[in-house]
Structure 1
Amino acid sequence: MDGRAAASTAFSDEGRAMSDTLRLLLALLELGPRLKGLLGDKWPPYADELQALAGRAGQGEDPDKLRQSLDLLVVRLLAEPPAVDLVERVMADMAAPAVATETVTRRGRGAPVVINEIVRPSTDETTGVVTIPVFYGTDRARGDDTPANFFRGERGTPSYGVAEVSVPTRGRDLGELTGPSWWRLEFSPNPEKHVILKSVGALGRGVFVTSLKESLAAADSRDVLIFVHGYNVTFEDAARRAAQLAVDLKFAGRTLLYSWASAADTKKYTVDESTIDWSRDHFEAFLQLALGEIGAGKVHIIAHSMGNRAVINTLERVTSWQLPAGAAKLGQVIFAAPDIDRDRFVQLAARFKGCAARVTLYASSRDVALLASKFVHGYPRAGEAGEVLTVVDGIDTIDASLVDTSLVGLHHSYFGEKRSILNDMFNLIVQQLAPDQRFDLQAAGDALRKYWNYRA
């Protein structure tokens, strides 16, 4: 007996309507040849599992157990980019509630779990630990099913999902990205002390948009914050940083992450340089999604280090976009220590002038990574301060050197690790204050070359 025939025997002789589970199972069996063509060598395990499910259905297995197994199979299929559109169309046609397009999936260290609820932040009132959903887009290659290795440092196919990150609010300095430390005799993560990536769930594009749209509609603010990380960063640390920023900035909207395929290896700087250029189109599509498809009010961007290249090269083309009526506006765009050629930055800045409510550049004369980049390229970087400080019409330049006193080597993350920097970002993003309204800044330069310093 073939799979379809076995599944069909589960229908009652009285001709009652087939259950959603069996309808979906039959639909997937019917799609077998097309899924095989899309998935290639990845298809055989799915085919075997579908055949086994059909046999279980034919033997009259408990419907709830059968549905649970089928749900897990569908979630895995939705994590296969070539099959996503086809499976989503089937699910939409079926209108099967348990795996409909608004379903949110999460994958932890074990099997994936299907959840039918709006994804939103939550707080444990006893411990003060906040769990933040980070809605991500990435072009990294898939790894294994553990959160820390869900995505690798190689290039892959653009994909979407939700990462859950827990952030302690007690006993952690503002901006601190805490983790276990062997010299403190901490050998495993502790949610009350450390910022932890708890789970990563892959979603098809349609499911991602629906889930994010519903979550944003339930938020206290319809604004979203997109974080784009820099050189030498893993997906895990990018997600942790995005959640930490959301908590420390007291951001009331929803937090998004674009994680480009950084090799996360200090020896592969030039590899990351090539990859960030390759990622530009993928980030552009992600930004257009955020502006035009999720019902956002304003979209804010914080880009760090090399990640600024994808952002600024995308903004160069913003005037040519055809966004739908009612699309969101760009709010605050923050270039934090941008590792991009200074002269190129000046050229591009003239092209996207006026595209956002406000554009801010944080620079430093003590950023070791930027100085190393200057050594490699032979020209100043846009994130440098001092004599080469970048001052451009339409951009608020802030010399953050005075508050960057402990930046060394690999840290290269002062923008997220200094209290005064985060306080200023809070005043900028949440309070919407101009530089002359922010108490920790003072004007410097002259009428033709005005910028801002931190007060000593």
Structure 2
Amino acid sequence: MSKACTRSPAEHSRSLPHLGLGLSLAIAISLGACAGVRGVMVPVSGSVPGTSTVDMLVATTRERTNPAEMFSGDRGPALAFANITVSIPPDQVRQVGEVQWPRQVPGNPATDFVTLKADVVDRDQALAWFHRTVRTIPKRQVLVFIHGFNNRFEDAVYRFAQIVHDSGAPVVPILFTWPSRGSVLA
């Protein structure tokens, strides 16, 4: 008989708080992945003085989905491209190193990261954007960002925009995002 089966009821009850804490933590992590506002990829109209923008090229192997999300966490049939511009609120109202997510859609450019442009482009348009943009960078440097595990599409886009902006690096930003549903259990 296993040790767990030979414990007294008192011994079992003393071990339950650990199980409860672990279960609570697992639920919180699972729900935290779902807590983000959906629809942030829909471009907002207008901007606010003092904001900054990051214009990036995105290459992805994710499946196309509705315009509110652009790409899902599922694997697509082929490599796809997008040209996305993210507006970042003025430095005085934001925490450097953090993404200021909108609490509701549409976000407020004065306080939140928002999407200004989100165009799906073909390979030729992506190459044209790249060649045109790289000529504007003094040393023609490119920064390619590949996100880690457990990232939704919009997570990768906004995080990369934050990294490019906060680093102040004069680079051509290229994001590669692979299929991930943004949940440990997905």
TM-score by length of 2: 0.69
Distance 2:140 2:113 in 1: 25
Question: 1:222, CA displacement in angstroms?
Answer: 0.8
Partner of 1:153: 73
Give me the identity figure in percent: 26
Aligned ranges for residues 231-242 of structure 1 at < 5 Å? Answer: 231-242=149-160
Shift of 1:134: 1.3
User: What secondary structure is seen at the aligned counterpart in 1 of 2:73?
Assistant: strand
**Partner deviation per Cα, 1:47-73 (whole Å, 9 max, x = no partner):** xxxxxxxxxxxxxxxxxxxxxxxxxxx
Choose the corresponding residue for 1:260, options 172, 175, 178. Answer: 178
How big is the shift at 1:127? Answer: 2.3
Secondary structure at the residue paired with 1:137? Answer: strand
Question: Paired residue for 2:5?
Answer: none
Report the Cα offset of residue 180 of structure 1: 2.6
1:188 Cα offset (Å): 4.6
Measured in 1, the distance between the counterparts of 2:165 and 2:55 equals 11
Q: Whose strand proportion is higher, 1 or 2?
A: 2
Greater relative contact order structure (CA < 8 Å, 6+ sep): 2
Q: 1:238-264 CA deviation, whole Å, 9 max, x = no partner?
A: 111111101100011211100001111
The reply on whether 1:245 has 2:167 as its aligned counterpart is no
User: What is the match of residue 167 of structure 1?
Assistant: 88
- The residue that corresponds to 1:128 in the other structure is 50
Superposed, 1:226-375 pairs within 5 Å as 226-268=144-186
Distance between the aligned counterparts of 1:168 and 1:220, measured in 2? 25
Q: How far 1:198 moved relative to its partner?
A: 3.0
Contact persistence 2:61–2:177 (CA under 8 A): yes
Q: TM-score, normalised on structure 1?
A: 0.29
* Alignment-derived partner of residue 196 in structure 1: 114
Number of residue pairs matched by the alignment: 142
User: Equivalent residue of 2:115, what SS?
Assistant: strand
Change (3 A) 1:151 1:187: closer
User: Alignment partner for residue 65 of structure 2, among 122, 130, 143?
Assistant: 143
Change in Cα spacing, 1:152 to 1:187, as seen in structure 2 (3 Å) is closer
Please, which runs of 5 or more residues in structure 1 have no aligned partner? 1-106, 111-123, 269-456
Counterpart amino acid of residue 136 in structure 1: V
Which protein is bigger by CA-based radius of gyration?
1
Q: Could you report, residue by residue, the CA deviation over 1:408-445 in whole angstroms, capped at 9, with x for unpaired residues?
A: xxxxxxxxxxxxxxxxxxxxxxxxxxxxxxxxxxxxxx
CA positional deviation for 1:169: 3.0
- CA 1:187 to 1:209, structure 2 compared with 1: closer, same or farther past 3 Å? closer
How big is the alpha-carbon RMSD for the aligned residues of Structure 1 and Structure 2?
A: 2.2
